[in-house]
Each structure stands twice: as structure tokens, then as C-alpha cells.
Amino acid sequence: MNLQEHAIDELGEVFYIPDFITEEEEAYLIRKIQDAPQYNWKALANRRLQLWGGQLTSKNVLLAQPLPSFVEVYPNILDRLKSSGAFSTSPHKVLNHIILNEYLPGQGIMPHQDGPAYHPVVATISLRSHTAFHYYRYTTENQDVLDATARIIVPTPVLSVLLEPRSVIITSGSMYTSHLHGIQEQKVDHITAGDGETGCPPKFTDLDVVVANWRLLTGTQVKSAMFKGGALERGVRYSLTCRDVEKVASSLKR
């Protein structure tokens, strides 16, 4: 796979690959996720999550646990991501940690950075529902403040993407190290139609920002919204956030 053909930003740091997994694989993964015992879920204020591959210590060391067979055997997400080239420069050349997030319609995640525990590449697979995913930057004022929470975020995203179910989005470079990303808490994503040409691309209506990956979208309903406009209702979405934790403790080191 030539990752650069999937670049959706000017610097070539963000890549969108539609239909990264099949519908059968998606159905299987969702069944496995839903079959997990209640105690595997960690409840947060506005979403639930599961950690696969172990916990991180306060010093950002992964206490590695085996990954579930349904990411290593069928479907073999590990190898598939490896052959995408996404982790070719990471220390273990492959992901070793996955956060599974569950979002109900109307739930999201505040703009944030993923931090220094991971090699600065993240691959996020979406299951079951689409969502709208935005990248943000800090203002240049206040730049020397070391505490990221004290810095000001520019409210208009620098890049906005429509993530389809079964797609993967890969974020690397400065988009990982110095930008933020988030999902707004919405039940519906309104789309303003484009004209099918680069001069007038489709937009997310509410923020008036271009759908950066509109040319790469494959879903019938989603594509129709790009050309005719429309409202895309969010369903329950699962995301698999795949990363390579740099420091690993335990005999499971890979």
C-alpha cells in the first residue's frame, strides 16, 4: 500500500483509508466487543472504554498483556496495519496497545493530545457509525507556556475529516506532536454540498470547514451528502485507537 496516496493534509501527515476492514470483520469485532464482561469497561463521564494490551504506569511504561485474538488472528489488524507502513518507524514496528472507545450518539471527546507515552503515530479504526473528527492548533500567543492545559486552542479546526465505519485514519508528524484532536458532542453531522470540483468542496455546515477526505469516501449515503448536502445521523460508534507504547515492561516485550 502506498500510504502517501491516502494523505489528506498538505504536509502528508494524516492518511485516510476507507474499507480497511470488511463488513464481516466489523460484525465479528462488534460481537466480541459486546461480549466482553462488564468489568472490562472503564466508564468515563462521556464515554466508555476498554484497554487492550495492558495498562500504562504513571511513568508511561506499558505493563504488557496479550492482545485479544480478534485483533491478531481474525481479523489480523496487527499485520494489516504493519503492511500499511504506518508503524515502519516505530520502535516495535507494530502496535502494542489499543484503546477501544464507545460513543453513543451525542457523545464525543474534547480536543486533546495523546502525549509522550506513545511513538508519535496513531491509527484509529472506526466501527458501526461515522463521526466527524477535527484537528486543532494552539494559538501562537502563549507558546512558551509548558503546561498544555494553560494554552489557548484556536476554535476553528485546521483539518476536519469524516470517518466512515470500517475506515482507518492515521495521524503522524506534527499533527500528532503539536496539534490536538477531538470529536464534538453531536447527534447529527450536517453537510453542505460541494460541486464535485476542488474549487467548491463539501463542508461540515456547523463549523463551515471543508470535509478534507471527501474524495476518498465510499459509503453511498455519505457520498450523497457530499454532493447533495444532508444530515448524517450518528449511531453508536466504536473506535480502536492503535499505538506503539515506547517503553514496555514484562516478558511479553515485543
Ligand X SMILES: O=C(O)CCC(=O)C(=O)O
Binding site for Fe ion (CB under 5 A): 114
Site for ligand X in 125-154 (CB under 6 A): 133
Task: Show Cβ contacts of residue 29 under 8 Å, excluding neighbours closer than 6 positions.
Answer: 21, 70, 75, 127, 238, 240
Closest CA to 103 of 189, 170, 25, 171: 189
Establish if 109 lies at the interface with ligand X (CB under 6 A): yes
Least distance between Fe ion and beta carbon 181 (Å):
6
Least distance between Fe ion and beta carbon 220 (Å):
29
For ligand X, which residue of 84, 90, 96, 101 counts as binding (CB under 6 A)?
101
CA dihedral 191, 167, 184, 33 (to 10 degrees): 130
Distance CA 21, CA 44 (A): 28
Report which DSSP code applies to 118. Answer: B
Q: Report how many residues bind ligand X under the rule CB under 6 A.
A: 9
Establish if 172 lies at the interface with ligand X (CB under 6 A): no
Establish if 21 lies at the interface with ligand X (CB under 6 A): no
Closest CA to 6 of 123, 150, 120: 123
Establish if 191 lies at the interface with ligand X (CB under 6 A): no
Nearer to ligand X, 124 or 192 (CB): 124
Q: Give the DSSP H or E segment for 14.
A: strand 14-17
For ligand X, which residue of 114, 185, 206, 246 counts as binding (CB under 6 A)?
114
Task: Give contact residues for ligand X (rule: CB under 6 A).
Answer: 99, 101, 109, 114, 124, 133, 181, 239, 241
